[in-house]
Structure 1
Amino acid sequence: MTDQLVVGAGYIGRALAAALVERGDSVTLATRSGTVVPGARALVVDASDVDALAAAAEGAATIFLVTGPSQYHRWPELWPPMFRAAVEAARRSGARLVLMGNLYGYGEGSPMPMTETTPQHPTEPKGRVRTDGWELALSAAKRGEIQVVEVRASDYFGPGAGKTSQLGSAFFGPLIAGKTARVFGSPDAAHSWCYLPDIVATLLAAADYRGPWGRAWHVPAAEPLSRTELAARVNALTGKRGSLARLSSALLRVLGVFVPFIRAANDSDYQFTAPFVVDAAETERLLGVAATPWDESLPAVVASYRDLAVAGPPATGARR
């Protein structure tokens, strides 16, 4: 039985912990709140606490850093201590380090599609802090202190994803009800979307890879679709006539002056105003992973939101 440390219990962290348990690994799930996933050991740890994280990693084969600050505008403040703690925990324990990353580091103006070897040139604060974290870990790897890889995904979607996902409850919920979903950016821009089970599969394959580390992997995505195209497919599945409306860019800019979270989101609006497409051919070839086709993923996601609508909100004090 292999010991694994999963740091973070968002949608990805919980799904990853469950997948590791299912395959027979011994899993410790480290979170601030002691989140419980059946079969995993819950441990209360601050991901920015070097000593606590290093102690949690003792004996682990892999540290999966799949957490992240939910407050966009505080990324430059909150991410660096977590990166430093994860790198030091890997150095002290000898565990391999798998970082869950995104595409922000490629920056506005990157050639499309973005591949695993596309140079990083971040153009806004969130991309810069992610790139700096990767460079910190990579420098430690080049010194021979740790083994590290980063798994980079485009925007995720999956059963039960909440309002913070561009393809979450704020998108699917209104459409399934035959109402209007309001979207950030252009609804007609082609975009790569990563299915949650495919993200988990790529994390597992990256951790098990026996070739050279110190590199990035891309989560495979099905063919790029705009949200207009996705809404049409949802309508075809539900028999409804849901529609999309674009949030006013001018209003968002004004709100961004007063609301830091909106201002931080506006900094990366380029991802939704023009095609934003990822290529994962090298990852697919070397790791043996593949994207779930839309005709499999979309019906499953639509069904999950229908089930949530029927069940209603959780009782007071219940946890999702």
Structure 2
Amino acid sequence: MRVAVTGGTGFVGRALVKALLERGDEVTVVSRKGTASASPRNAKLHHMTWDEIAASPQRLEGTDMIVNLAGESINQRWTEASKQRVLQSRIVAAARIAKLVTELNTKPEAVINASGISAYGNSLTATFAEDSPMKVTDFLSGVVEQWEKAADSIPVKRLVKLRVGVVLNRTGGAFPLMSLPHRLFAGGRLGSGSQWLSWIHLEDLVRLILFSMDHREIEGPVNASAPEPVTNDRFGRALGKAFGRPHWLPTPAFLLKAVLGEMSSLLLEGQRALPRKALENGFAFKYPTIESAMKEISQA
């Protein structure tokens, strides 16, 4: 299979590209710089910039699948400027892909477009599946609404909108920051500790992307989150147990808001989302519980 991965040099993108190459797919990584890494050259790995695609879209003729992971990281302080970068990077990437697909003589079979579990807004009591309505309650849910609207303009027969939860991996994403208090022996619940966290291990996320690529019956919204969401307090307890650290020192909400500003909502708010579509279509999570995920991460 010939696959184009936008954002292929990012945290999730690198893991996905590695998995695609290992199973024998031909991969084109699309990024702003388009520079190949220092790793040994692979004849099935190609690099292109967005500018090169715009100038010569025919170079991606024959692409079977596009996976769009492009977007500014949300793991930064949310100033007005950074919030605009987060939003615009996602809208622009989807628009570029829509233009590319329009210009190709042979359209890709499908586009898998990253999205966010924030699509459902925040709640302490509700449970969300793919058929739950979208709701804008904060900055991130507003971003997801516009992100998916932009993705809907991509003219392909099958569009998968992968609503990704918090991705857990020891060396990348949000986990190093989330685990820092426990690693410093100062871990505990954040705020009330009752806020929900819909999470997914990086390996399962990559596996779910491959699963969505290979199963043509999967389309529309897909919750990319583990089947057992947890409260913030349970997450911290599992983290502490796996790493041999105490879970004892609560961090009040006002302190997080003072330090992180609006970005504190990532830690103080959340939603309980279930991956109903993935499970109904036969996907099996390797790390279905937070305890199994933390055990692997702590031993990595």
What 5-or-longer segments of structure 1 have no aligned partner? Answer: 257-261, 305-320
Aligned residues: 283
- What's the C-alpha RMSD, in Å, of the aligned pairs? 3.1
What 5-or-longer segments of structure 2 have no aligned partner? Answer: 75-81
**Aligned counterparts of 1:149 and 1:107: Cα–Cα separation in 2:** 20
Q: 1:158 Cα deviation (Å)? A: 1.4
SS at match of 1:100: strand
Q: What are the residue-to-residue correspondences of 1:162-311 with 2, within 5 Å?
A: 162=173, 165=174, 168-177=175-184, 179-181=185-187, 185-211=191-217, 213=219, 215-241=220-246, 243-246=248-251, 248-249=253-254, 252=257, 262-263=261-262, 265-266=263-264, 269=265, 272-273=267-268, 276-290=271-285, 292-294=287-289, 295-304=291-300
Q: 1:44 Cα deviation (Å)? A: 4.2
> Would you say the 8 A contact 2:124–2:194 is kept in 1?
no
Change (3 A) 1:122 1:182: same
Q: Out of 28-37 and 6-15, give the one that drifted further.
A: 28-37
TM-score normalised by the chain length of structure 1: 0.76
Q: 1:272 Cα deviation (Å)? A: 4.2
SS at match of 1:99: strand
SS at match of 2:297: helix
**Aligned counterparts of 1:197 and 1:237: Cα–Cα separation in 2:** 18
Change (3 A) 1:44 1:210: closer
**Aligned counterparts of 1:228 and 1:111: Cα–Cα separation in 2:** 15
> Would you say the 8 A contact 1:100–1:151 is kept in 2?
yes
Matched, 1:7 2:11: no
Change (3 A) 1:250 1:244: closer
> Would you say the 8 A contact 1:228–1:244 is kept in 2?
no
Task: Give the percent of matched residue pairs that are identical in Structure 1 and Structure 2.
Answer: 18
**Aligned counterparts of 1:272 and 1:172: Cα–Cα separation in 2:** 12
1:86 corresponding residue in structure 2: 97
TM-score normalised by the chain length of structure 2: 0.80
Change (3 A) 1:55 1:248: farther
Q: 1:61 Cα deviation (Å)? A: 0.8
**Aligned counterparts of 1:231 and 1:53: Cα–Cα separation in 2:** 49
**Aligned counterparts of 1:244 and 1:90: Cα–Cα separation in 2:** 52
1:57 corresponding residue in structure 2: 60
1:118 corresponding residue in structure 2: 132
Change (3 A) 1:59 1:108: same
Change (3 A) 1:180 1:101: same
Change (3 A) 1:244 1:87: farther
1:148 corresponding residue in structure 2: 159
2:172 corresponding residue in structure 1: 161
> Would you say the 8 A contact 1:171–1:181 is kept in 2?
no
Change (3 A) 1:275 1:135: closer
Change (3 A) 1:103 1:117: same
The one-letter code sitting in structure 2 at the alignment partner of 1:246 is: T
Instruction: Decide which of 67, 70, 93 is 1:67's aligned counterpart.
Output: 70
Q: 1:52 Cα deviation (Å)? A: 5.2
